[in-house]
Structure 1
Amino acid sequence: MSAITVLWFATTREAAGVDWKVVTTASAWRALVTYLWPEIHKWARRIQWEVLGREPFSELTELLTLNLKLYHGAASAVASNRSELIEGAHADSLLYLIDEAKVVPNATWDAIEGAFSGGRPEGLPEAFALAVSTPGPPAGRFYDIHRRSPGLEDWHTRHVTLTEAMTAGRISPDWAEQRRRQWGADSALFHNRVLGEFHASDEDSAIPLSWVEAAVDRWHGWNDAGRPPVEGRRIIGVDVARTGSDSTVLAHRHGPLISELETHDLEDTMQTTARVQAALGVDGADGLVPVVDSIGVGSGVVDRLRELRVPVLAYTGAAKTKARSREKEFGFTNVRTAAYWRVRELLDPAFDPELMLPPDDLLISDLTAPTWSITTGVPPRIQLEKKEDLVARLGRSPDRGDAVAMSFWAESLASSTVRSPTNATGRSSAAASRYGRSIGGGGRARTMGR
């Protein structure tokens, strides 16, 4: 729809000899480069040019990668964080296309609103804007437009319902039902992406959906840049499968980046041990540290790695911890709660987050599904929804979320105690010291502890 709107506007104004401009913007540059402009190219090739009375756009001089340049006007892509470029657009006929509009900055919206100051109900000059997005939390300008906030009543809003999408054949009923079972009917993920409704997880979920989606956007930015090297310790969080329906998940972490989620089904502990050992490289020379869930079948992986003299960090989610929240006001009922809360703190937009998460729907669900509460005591403690209750609600184990949370708990494990193999003299190996104790002393660990 967005691509066809751009082509309609450009061809009709060009045919009328009107001075025109189209500015396309989005919350992320990737949305323009990867989605919108390739779609404009696709639909341009399907235009019935004989009806328009002209030759198809030349892809050498007119329809370029991110621009359309014709005699009377042009369409172009502009980053949403460059509001001064958006504000500088002038023409007798203007169109603004705002894709993924739910998180476009307010400064961009204000710059676009300025273009309507000279518009007339009929005739020239004229200005139009089309904002398209899946909904997010009930906040921001896109949400304000849909709730008809004062001063924004001149926008025409349209909510495409799930029933409409299924009737049109654009969404399969089976897909919608699977997502309901996967994400939960009450989850923000299901309301946003399936029902198309504004919904927030902030009140009851330990980690807000919008924070996780921002981290996914940062991951896409890293990926689109050619996956440049990222500074920081290399950690691998290993959540070992307990039943046939669960997956063993290896979360590959480089500093603030989860570069990859590696999943394996129906493997025994020796196979999992071999995968972790292979990831370490020759003699652990690449500096990677495994953090392995030590409860249940995972204990076999921990024991075998120690037997192989691998400096593994054992993670016990049910263990007690003296860790405190960033503001030191709250404690935690157990390590699992503290680990998930650590991820929450690393995602908090108030602290310039750097954490990057891969675009995995199950991971997003795992991180945003658990609820939390406060228990009384001195200090009061944060308590995450019990694992068994979450599994019953989701119908599966949150393996991906656990692996990621474990990988970011490595610094706390290393700074408290490191159980590592000893050499023949009974002293801890140098490799264990380098991979274990030293983790807690770097700048990244201090950032995490803020």
Structure 2
Amino acid sequence: MNQIQLAAEAELELRRRRAERLKQYETQRDFYKTHPLEYLVERLGFRANTIDWNLNPEYQNHKWDGTVNPFIFILECLSQGVRKIGVESSTGTGKTKIGAGIALWFLDCFENSLVVTTAPKEPQLKLHIWKEIGVMYPVFRKGSLSTLRLNMHEDPRLTDWQAIGFVAGVAADEQSSTKAQGFHAEHLLIIIEETPGVPQPIIEAFQNTADGPHNIILAFGNPDHQLDNLHKFCQLPNVISIRISGYDHPNVVLKNPSFIPGAVTLDGLNDKKVRYGDEGALYLSRAKGISPGQSVSALINLKWVKEANERWNLICEETGKIEETKIPGHKALGVDVANSEHGDKAAIAKGKGTVLISVVDFQCPDSNLLGKREVLQLMKDENIEAKRVGVDSVGVGAGTVNALKEMDQYVAALGGADAPVDIANQEEKFKNLRSQMWWQLREDLRNGIIALPPDDELTADLITPEWEPKNGKVVVESKELIKKRLGHSPNKGDAVVYWNWVRNSRSAIEFLK
């Protein structure tokens, strides 16, 4: 046999072996498509009993607090083609790690697939699911990993088979919502982290774009309350809802806090129960994965808000609109100021007498223009007196107040840190004006005085703030703490607080002159 024949034979043998390997890979991949547990264990090195908790003998007589064997249930849903899955979980259960494993499973098993992971902020993506993807990548050994991107092609110009991180933002603008609608693939997996903080328009955009037969949305998070975006997603009729309780975790059931290092422990659960009470919202959410209806320390009761909605509906015409001429009293405005194109929104609440007509929020890149344009125009169009316009004067709000002052409109400058004012027959003492204004709204709702339009965002803003008595004074928690738990700034809620404060003449209100 000459050299040419030998070379030809060698080439044929190489092709045969390559074909055999490819055949084996295709066979293996077809198996893994419907067996994600085996993929996670065999390909990524997961311990089977950290996913299938029933493999541990201690579970034989375990009484499940949440969904039975939740991680296996999630994997079964994925392998059976369930298209929408919502997971409400306690903290420390390992949902981020399994989310990363699921992302790699989907990407590897379905050719030309697209995996989109999203969270409100970029650091959340980098520190959570993409950190786990980075840890697993040396074992995964496929594609090219860069910041918030894993491309299965060697050529970076090819982008039809990849996983990417998409920053949802804390307040969805038109651009981000449009971009969220732009993800399309035959095999599409959207993993939403920190879902309570992801803006509703983004979630709706994902639902609209994920309409193919193998387009899946998997939403994770720690629930905050029954009006947050995770719980609302889980309540949709086409969503399979799963709850992961810390009391079902192997570290707790096996009574071994080191079984999965860094995960939830019985001591941690007991600590939450002591700190928050066994009916406390944070205990229910962070320990049991239950979406609480209302915090026991909430300033405003959900029941009062719903009753205010009912009063508003009774006032409405058959068209569902308010006939303002039939409402007695003066018109007033409450303005929560912002100064950002993509961050927190501004909000304006408009009401007449004891009826809130509307509350709208919007991006506001210029707080000065907010005063000179939107607020001033509303004052003119609605014939609203300056003394019945309450504006948040803290920080960027000073620009709005000063802009109105330049137009000879001396509105009520409401500084949250200012001293409370003296009001006849008000027995409570307050840490600051902000606490007093929020308390006034609470009392007006509790006593059935005001009517509010049904608005889930407004309701969430109003029922989230908590309060405590401190040194004999009412203290409403800071806006930053509310923002952290709510997932966004309570713009609508603050605007309504300011409207309610200035709709009546309060003694000692100071006007900037």
TM-score relative to the length of structure 2: 0.43
Q: Which protein is bigger by CA-based radius of gyration?
A: 2
